[in-house]
A and B are shown apart, each in its own frame.
Chain A
Amino acid sequence: MVKVKRGKVAAVRRKKFLKLAKGYVGSHSRLSIMAMEQVVQGLQFAYIGRKLKKRNFRRIWIYRINAASRARKNVYSKFIGCLRNLNILLNRKILSFLAFNDLSIFNLLERKS
């Protein structure tokens, strides 16, 4: 039987993880086993975080639109309802930006609703 040498396969796999673990503290960026654990967990959290980020920002936009509405004697729920009836499809990101930066347009929208 021909001798099978395992070659570089394992080393290549470990190097991949060590590259992703750059910047980690201590042996977490130097030792392949610890690096693998940290990187796998890190990638998991990144996946979850990308989804959470979308939810969290929508929350902040809603807080801000609500605050701006209440400053004008309105309420977020009624404001959004009226905008939908008027067929204005601006999303909450833009609305919150307007509430903060371009008051004139926001006021216009408020008065319409």
Chain B
Amino acid sequence: MNRRFSQPAWHLVDAKNKICGRLSTQIVSLLRGKHKPNFTPWYDCGDYVVVVNAQDVHLTGDKLRQKHFIWHTGYPGGLKQRSVRDQLKLKPEEVLRKSVLGMLAKNNLRYDIARKLRIFPGPKHFHEDKLPPGTPSVL
């Protein structure tokens, strides 16, 4: 949206064995730009965050089995659910993405901020030009 305050930086985050929710709060802080002294809540002044190893994110307790993502297709009898374990098998990035996006305010800015979050299931990512291999993980 509005980038004239500062050039957005790129941060690499390794999600391997990190607790999903606790990691997400810190990611949201970076995405929103809360760490910058020119933070303005109505501008997208945050940074890009590239998350790798999202398939190895950790959830405490029995959440792998018990926590379900629930949605309704709109058709009668269309309540569907999927456990975190199955989601991790199907599309592991979504577990962390839902966690992070759920922590963002549900407003128009959310779309722009969500664009800055790049999640990858394994150790490789597509942003080698901004984050050359060997960059340390920020969190």
A18 at the interface (CB under 8 A from B): no
**Cβ of B37 and Cβ of A71 under 8 Å apart?**
yes
Of B38-46, B52-60, B83-91, B124-132, the one with at least 4 CB within 8 A of chain A: B38-46
**Cβ of A64 and Cβ of B35 under 8 Å apart?**
no
What total of chain A residues lie within 8 Å of the partner, measured CB to CB? 11
Query: How far apart are the CA atoms of A96 and B39 in the complex, in Å?
Result: 10
Contacts of B39 on A, CB cut-off 8 Å? 60, 63-64, 67
B63 at the interface (CB under 8 A from A): no
Contacts of A65 on B, CB cut-off 8 Å? 37
**Majority secondary structure, B binding face:** loop
- Chain B proximity of A40: nearest CB distance (Å): 28
**Cβ of B34 and Cβ of A71 under 8 Å apart?**
no
Query: How far apart are the CA atoms of A78 and B41 in the complex, in Å?
Result: 23
What total of chain B residues lie within 8 Å of the partner, measured CB to CB? 8
**Cβ of A64 and Cβ of B37 under 8 Å apart?**
yes
Closest chain B residue to A56 by CB distance?
Answer: B41
**Cβ of B40 and Cβ of A67 under 8 Å apart?**
no
- Chain A proximity of B45: nearest CB distance (Å): 10
Query: How far apart are the CA atoms of A63 and B42 in the complex, in Å?
Result: 13
Contacts of A68 on B, CB cut-off 8 Å? 37
**Cβ of A100 and Cβ of B38 under 8 Å apart?**
yes
Query: How far apart are the CA atoms of A100 and B40 in the complex, in Å?
Result: 12
Q: Mark A71-110, 1 if CB is under 8 A from B, else 0.
A: 1000000000000000000000000100110000000000
Query: How far apart are the CA atoms of A58 and B41 in the complex, in Å?
Result: 13
**Cβ of A64 and Cβ of B38 under 8 Å apart?**
yes
B22 at the interface (CB under 8 A from A): no
A70 at the interface (CB under 8 A from B): yes
B65 at the interface (CB under 8 A from A): no
Q: Would you mind naming 10 contact pairs between A and B with Cβ atoms under 8 Å apart?
A: A60-B41, A63-B34, A63-B39, A64-B37, A64-B39, A65-B37, A67-B37, A71-B35, A71-B37, A100-B38
By Cβ-Cβ distance, the 6 closest A-B pairs, closest first, are A68-B37, A99-B37, A100-B37, A64-B37, A63-B39, A67-B37
Spell out B's residues near A (CB within 8 Å).
Answer: 34-41
* A-B contacts besides A64-B39, A67-B34, 13 pairs, CB < 8 Å: A60-B40, A60-B41, A63-B34, A63-B41, A64-B37, A64-B38, A65-B37, A67-B35, A67-B36, A70-B35, A71-B37, A99-B37, A100-B38
